[in-house]
Amino acid sequence: MNLEKLPLPDCAERDWARRAITILEGDGRRSADTHLLAPVFEGLEGISIYLKDESTHPTGSLKHRLARSLVLYGICNGHIRQGTTLVEASSGSTAVSEAYFARLLRLPFIAVMPRSTSRQKIGEIERFGGRCHFVDSPGEVYAAAERVATETGGHYLDQFTFAERATDWRGNNNIAESIFEQMQAEENPVPEWVVMSAGTGGTSATLGRYIRYRNLPTQLCVADVECSAFYDCYRTGDRDTTCAEPSRIEGIGRPRVEPSFVPSVIDHMIRVPDAASIAAMRVLSDRIFRRVGGSTGTNFFATLSIAARMMAAGQEGSIVTLVCDSGARYTDTYYDDGWLNARGLDIAPWIEPIETFLARGDASVLWP
Ligand SMILES: *Cc1c(COP(=O)(O)O)cnc(C)c1O
C-alpha cells in the first residue's frame, strides 16, 4: 500500500481565525455590562419595573450582542475567513452592529435593507465602512441578501435564522443571565414577568430558554406590533402566517414568522397598537431622562398592561423589560409630530392615560 505523502497544510487560515477571535474577545473585555435601570413610578404600588438598557452598547442597541455572536458563530464554523464579505438582511440595527464588527476584523460588509430604513442608521452603517443595498419592501430582503452573498462569494450572516442558536442560551453572560444576576439584591429578585418584543425572536428565545433552564417561576410575555406575523402565529400555531403590511415600529414586527421565533417558550403575547407604542416611548423618555426607540415603547406599553393586571389581581413583584435602542436614531421619525401626523399615527389619546396610570395607578382609562 502506498501512503500518499501530502504536505501538511499551512496554518495561515487558522492564524487569521485565531486573531479574529482575540479581536472579538477584546471588544467584550473593553465593554462594561449594560445598566439595569429602576425608575420609580409613584402610581404603581407594589410593582417594580426594571429596564435593561441595551442602548449603551458601543453600537447603540441590543444587536451588539447578536452581531458579536453571529460573527463568532461564522468564524467557529469556518464560514468566515480572511477576506470573506459579510452580508446581512436587516432593518437597520443589526447591520449597524455587524458593520462595526466587520470593520474590527477588516472584512467587507454589505447590508440589504428596506429603502424605508432611517437615515441615521444608514449613516451609521456607512461610517463603519459598510455598504447598503436597498430593496423596496421588507419581504424582499431575504432573497436579495442570499443573492448578494452568492454574487460576492460572501457569507450571509442570516440573523433571522441563526439568532436563536448563535447565542449561548445556558449563560456565558447572555442577556438573560446578566438580567437575573443584576436583580439579585432587589426586593423581589425573581421577576414575575419578563417582557420583550420580537424582531428575529432571538432575545425572547434566549430569555424563555434561560428561565426554564434555571427553573425559575418567571413568565415571559412577548409584545408584538400591528403589522407582524408573530402574534397570529402564536395564537394559531401556524408558522406560515404572513403579514402584507410592513411594520411601522423599526426593529420589530416581521412580514413572516422568522425561523428564530420560538413560540413554545413564550407564556403570553400582547399586540400593542402602534400609536400606543410611540406614546409609551415618549412618556418613558420623559421619565428616565433619555430618549428611547419605538420598540422600547412597545415593550413599555406591554409591561404596563401586565402591571395593571397584576395590580387588579392584588399581586406584587417585579417586571423586567428592555431598552432596545436609543431615540437618537428616530429624531426625524417617532420624535417628529409632523412625521407621525403624515402617517395617521395619533398618539395624543394614549399619552394622558399612560401618564395617569404611572402617576396614580388608575388603569381604567387605559384598559376600560
Ligand atoms: C432587533 C430589535 C428588537 C428585537 O430583538 P430580537 O432579539 O431580534 O427579537 C427590538 N428592538 C430593536 C431596536 C431591535 O433592533
Residue to probe by mutation, ligand 1, list 93, 100, 195, 330, most atoms within 8 Å of CB: 93
Q: Which residue has the higher pLDDT, 67 or 368?
A: 67
**Cross-strand pairs, 53:** 323
Instruction: Give the amino acid at 1.
Output: M
CB of 5 within 8 A of CB of 70? no
Q: What is the mean pLDDT of the chain?
A: 95
Run of H or E including 109:
strand 109-114
Run of H or E including 155:
strand 155-156
pLDDT digits 0-9 by tens, 203-226:
999 999 999 999 999 999 999 999
pLDDT at 124: 92
Query: What's the mean pLDDT in 291-314?
Result: 98
For residue 1, pLDDT over 80 is answered with no
61 in contact with ligand 1, CB cutoff 6 A: yes
Atom of ligand 1 nearest to the CA of 295: 11
For residue 289, pLDDT over 90 is answered with yes
293 in contact with ligand 1, CB cutoff 6 A: yes
Integer Cα distance of 145 and 52 in angstroms: 31
201 in contact with ligand 1, CB cutoff 6 A: yes
91 in contact with ligand 1, CB cutoff 6 A: no
Confidence of residue 366 (pLDDT cuts 50, 70, 90): confident
CA of 360 to the centre of ligand 1 (A): 31
Q: Which residue has the higher pLDDT, 196 or 6?
A: 196
Contacts of 106 (CB under 8 A, 6+ apart): none
**Cα 89 to the center of its chain, rounded Å:** 14
pLDDT at 13: 83
| Ligand 1, atom 13: closest residue by C-alpha | 251
For residue 5, pLDDT over 70 is answered with yes
What does the chain come to in residues? 368
The burial class, CB within 10 Å (0-12 / 13-18 / 19+), for 354 is: buried
CA of 64 to the centre of ligand 1 (A): 11
For residue 256, pLDDT over 80 is answered with yes
pLDDT at 365: 83
295 in contact with ligand 1, CB cutoff 6 A: yes
325 in contact with ligand 1, CB cutoff 6 A: yes
Atom of ligand 1 nearest to the CA of 206: 7
Domains parsed from the chain with CATH numbers:
31-61+170-359 (3.40.50.1100), 63-161 (3.40.50.1100)
- With a pLDDT cut of 90, the percent of the chain lying above it is 90
CA of 288 to the centre of ligand 1 (A): 20
Query: What's the mean pLDDT in 194-207?
Result: 98
Integer Cα distance of 90 and 94 in angstroms: 6
Q: Report which DSSP code applies to 61.
A: B
pLDDT digits 0-9 by tens, 120-169:
889 999 999 999 999 998 889 999 999 999 999 999 999 999 999 999 99
114 in contact with ligand 1, CB cutoff 6 A: no
Instruction: Give the amino acid at 363.
Output: A
Atom of ligand 1 nearest to the CA of 261: 9
CA atoms within 13 A on the CB side of 322: 28
Closest CA to 293 of 80, 35, 54: 54
First and final CA of the chain: distance in angstroms?
Answer: 85
| Ligand 1, atom 12: closest residue by C-alpha | 251
64 in contact with ligand 1, CB cutoff 6 A: no
Closest CA to 32 of 64, 56, 50: 56
Contacts of 182 (CB under 8 A, 6+ apart): 33, 36, 52
CA of 317 to the centre of ligand 1 (A): 26
CB of 176 within 8 A of CB of 207? yes
